[in-house]
């Protein structure tokens, strides 16, 4: 009997080692090669539905196959800011409002862009704001506060990104320390351009494309920065056989809602939705591509009190000039989209995306 128990125990140990080996092997085989993470800053369900109504009942985002919700509270506040919200998404930790790429104790935490770069993938950022603004900064920089924008610009030289398209030339070229960071980027083999048209000519290598001195204008004044910037980035990033990580932000949905400006909100959502079409079309043609769309928080406490779908008319009401604490939607399409159903923490994006890539944390 004793001998039987010993044998049975040995069998269990052997089996559990086998099962363990299997699960490790499973984690290492990637389901996803390319990830396009799209953040509508301040985009709650009402913002998205305002755009859908203004567009007389449809949006490209409806092509998503899976939906979920993300809980946005930060480490120190029920209502997050875009620093803590971006850091939670990018780095997988709840941190204090205002923090960029550091945890609640101030310790730097690696972002999903950095994990991707360190594993040989190409990486990119396309935004309709300054390079040093909170959301893009969360993927690149590690600083105690989002206000340290000149320091955040320095972090672009420390991080191995492939493509940046957005605003922010001044923080790189007209700095209080008199350093010209553009020259330093060129020394690291970046092609530096100052218009979207120049950027569109770049098909390979590394690209730093400034399309504005500070923030790009609101839509429609800024033109097709987001959809065409995304297409430009994809042309470069898709050349890497190992895959890529790309973050795209509709940065100014948030600002329209801070201003309680319904027309600006509609314009920004429709521009973001045209950008989503570019991402979905790429994912449909390139198996192994995941598109995840979410928000860092809701802005404005928007309610849609009256509307007419056929006429594309609505009356939006705003309860605040700031952010709110409500959950925000997640829309997913392509390889691994099923991971993004249900209700999750904003810190779960990092874990899920690394698992899909087969990258160990
Ligand atoms: Mg933002
Ligand atoms: Zn905001």
Spell out where the chain has E strands.
34-40, 66-71, 122-130, 163-167, 190-193, 206-212, 244-250, 289-294, 298-299, 303-308, 313-317, 323-324, 328-334, 342-345
Nearest bound ligand to the CA of residue 42: 2
* Ligand 2 mean position, distance from CA 73 (Å): 14
Within 10 angstroms of residue 175's Cβ, the number of other Cβ atoms is 14
Nearest bound ligand to the CA of residue 81: 2
* Ligand 1 mean position, distance from CA 83 (Å): 8
Cis bond upstream, residue 345 (ω within 30):
no
**Residues with Cβ–ion distance below 5 A, ligand 2:** 254
* Ligand 2 mean position, distance from CA 206 (Å): 30
* Ligand 1 mean position, distance from CA 249 (Å): 7
* Ligand 2 mean position, distance from CA 41 (Å): 7
* Ligand 2 mean position, distance from CA 70 (Å): 17
Within 10 angstroms of residue 135's Cβ, the number of other Cβ atoms is 26
pLDDT tens for 248-257 read 999 999 999 9
* Ligand 2 mean position, distance from CA 203 (Å): 34
* Ligand 2 mean position, distance from CA 298 (Å): 8
pLDDT tens digits in sequence order for the chain, 361 residues long: 455 545 555 444 444 444 443 333 344 567 999 999 999 999 999 999 999 999 999 999 999 999 999 999 999 999 999 999 999 999 999 999 999 999 999 999 999 999 999 999 999 999 999 999 999 999 999 999 999 999 999 999 999 999 999 999 999 999 999 999 999 999 999 999 999 999 999 999 999 999 999 999 999 999 999 999 999 999 999 999 999 999 999 999 999 999 999 999 999 999 999 999 999 999 999 999 999 999 999 999 999 999 999 999 999 999 999 999 999 999 999 999 999 999 999 999 999 999 999 999 8
| Sign of the alpha-carbon dihedral angle for 22, 28, 30, 31 | positive
User: What does the domain layout of the chain look like in residue ranges?
Assistant: 1-30, 31-357
* Ligand 1 mean position, distance from CA 215 (Å): 11
What share of the chain has pLDDT > 90, as a percent?
91
Q: Using DSSP, state whether 263 is helix, strand or coil.
A: helix
Nearest bound ligand to the CA of residue 299: 2
* Ligand 1 mean position, distance from CA 176 (Å): 24
| Contact assessment for residue 300 and residue 321, using Cβ atoms and an 8 Å cutoff | yes
Direct distance between the N- and C-terminal alpha carbons of the chain, in angstroms, rounded to an integer: 44
| Contact assessment for residue 87 and residue 80, using Cβ atoms and an 8 Å cutoff | no
Question: Which one, of 89, 85, 38, 44, lies nearest residue 257 by Cα?
Answer: 44
* Ligand 1 mean position, distance from CA 88 (Å): 13
Structure tokens at 14: 């052997």
Q: Hey, which CATH number is domain 31-357, 3.30.390.50, 3.40.50.2300, 3.40.720.10, 1.20.1250.20?
A: 3.40.720.10
Residue 221: in which H helix or E strand, if any?
none
* Ligand 2 mean position, distance from CA 321 (Å): 9
Q: Using DSSP, state whether 188 is helix, strand or coil.
A: coil
Question: Which one, of 53, 12, 74, lies nearest residue 315 by Cα?
Answer: 53
Q: Is the pTM of this model over 0.85?
A: yes
Within 10 angstroms of residue 90's Cβ, the number of other Cβ atoms is 30
Nearest bound ligand to the CA of residue 322: 2
Q: In this structure, what DSSP letter does residue 63 have?
A: G
Length of the chain counted residue by residue: 361
pLDDT tens for 198-253 read 999 999 999 999 999 999 999 999 999 999 999 999 999 999 999 999 999 999 99
* Ligand 1 mean position, distance from CA 26 (Å): 35
* Ligand 2 mean position, distance from CA 165 (Å): 21
Nearest bound ligand to the CA of residue 255: 2
Question: Which one, of 345, 252, 344, 340, lies nearest residue 299 by Cα?
Answer: 252
* Ligand 2 mean position, distance from CA 320 (Å): 11
């Amino acid at each position: 009997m004793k001998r039987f128990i010993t044998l049975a125990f040995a069998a269990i140990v052997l089996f559990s080692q086998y099962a363990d080996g299997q699960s490790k092997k499973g984690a290492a085989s990637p389901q996803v090669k390319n990830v396009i993470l799209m953040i509508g800053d301040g985009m709650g369900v009402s913002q998205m539905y305002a755009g859908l109504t203004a567009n007389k009942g449809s949006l490209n985002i409806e092509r998503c196959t899976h939906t979920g919700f993300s809980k946005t509270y930060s480490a120190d506040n029920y209502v997050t800011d875009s620093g803590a919200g971006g850091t939670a998404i990018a780095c997988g930790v709840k941190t204090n409002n205002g923090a960029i790429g550091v945890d609640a104790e101030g310790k730097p935490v690696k972002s999903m862009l950095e994990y991707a770069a360190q594993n040989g993938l190409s990486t990119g950022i396309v935004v309709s704001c300054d390079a040093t603004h909170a959301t893009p900064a969360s993927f690149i920089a590690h600083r105690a506060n989002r206000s340290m924008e000149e320091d955040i610009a320095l972090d672009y030289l420390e991080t191995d990104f492939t493509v940046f398209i957005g605003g922010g030339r001044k923080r790189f070229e007209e700095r209080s320390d008199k350093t010209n960071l553009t020259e330093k980027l060129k020394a690291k083999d970046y092609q530096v351009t100052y218009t979207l048209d120049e950027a569109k000519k770049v098909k390979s290598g590394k690209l730093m494309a400034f399309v504005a001195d500070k923030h790009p204008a609101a839509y429609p004044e800024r033109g097709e920065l987001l959809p065409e910037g995304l297409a430009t980035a994809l042309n470069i990033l898709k050349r890497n056989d190992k895959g890529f990580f790309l973050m795209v932000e509709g940065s100014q949905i948030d600002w329209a809602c801070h201003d309680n400006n319904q027309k600006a909100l509609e314009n920004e959502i429709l521009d973001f939705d045209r950008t989503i079409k570019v991402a979905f079309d790429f994912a449909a043609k390139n198996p192994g591509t995941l598109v995840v769309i979410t928000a860092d928080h809701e802005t404005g406490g928007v309610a849609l009190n009256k509307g007419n779908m056929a006429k594309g008319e609505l009356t939006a009401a705003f309860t605040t000039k700031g952010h709110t604490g409500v959950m925000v939607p997640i829309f997913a399409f392509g390889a691994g989209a099923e991971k993004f159903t249900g209700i999750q923490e904003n810190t779960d994006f990092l874990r899920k995306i690394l698992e899909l890539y087969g990258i160990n944390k």
